[in-house]
């Protein structure tokens, strides 16, 4: 579905899910925080269920393969294999890093991998431009 049409169709999602959910084009991101990982998981499960319920009521289907889940390492008892259980038998394992709106970040809120990736991409583009300039002057 085209992002513009999706935005028209989904404009009341943010009214239905009043907890911390952020929307940009066709990308929705939920966030939560709490003192314990278990309480945090309960909050995220509740938000996920509300979003999935809204999608079902509006005859839409979520792509569970695109779901991402990350815990930032500020908890004293941070679990190694944390799994978030949401409805319809979907289990999400906490990721070491996620990409949100094209920005990569890890559990420590470090952007080092993102910056490295962007620098490599910029370097490749600069090399292509340099090659094209040299090729133009040599011909």
Residue ranges per structural domain of the chain: 3-97, 109-139
Q: Taking 60 as the threshold, does the pLDDT of residue 121 lie above it?
A: yes
Of the two residues 106 and 17, the one the predictor is more confident about is: 106
Alpha helices in the chain, H assignment, sequence order: 3-9, 13-16, 37-57, 112-138
pLDDT of residue 75: 53
Instruction: Report the alpha-carbon distance of residue 3 to residue 23 in Å, rounded.
Output: 12
Q: Taking 60 as the threshold, does the pLDDT of residue 76 lie above it?
A: no
Half-sphere exposure of 111 (CA within 13 A, CB side): 6
Please report, rounded to a whole number, the percentage of residues in the chain having pLDDT higher than 70. 79
- Taking residues 52-71, what's their average pLDDT? 79
């Amino acid at each position: 579905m085209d992002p513009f049409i999706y935005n028209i169709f989904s404009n009341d999602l943010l009214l239905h899910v009043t907890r911390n959910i952020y929307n940009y084009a066709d990308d929705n991101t939920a966030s939560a925080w709490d003192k314990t990982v278990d309480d945090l998981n309960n909050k995220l499960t509740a938000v996920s269920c509300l979003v999935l319920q809204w999608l079902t009521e509006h005859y839409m289907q979520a792509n569970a393969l695109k779901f991402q889940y990350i815990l930032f390492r500020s908890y004293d008892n941070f679990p190694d294999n944390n799994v978030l259980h949401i409805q319809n038998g979907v289990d999400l394992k906490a990721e070491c890093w996620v990409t949100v709106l094209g920005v990569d970040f890890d559990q420590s809120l470090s952007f080092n991998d993102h910056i490295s990736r962007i620098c490599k991409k910029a370097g490749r583009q600069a090399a292509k431009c340099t090659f094209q300039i040299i090729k133009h002057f040599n011909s």
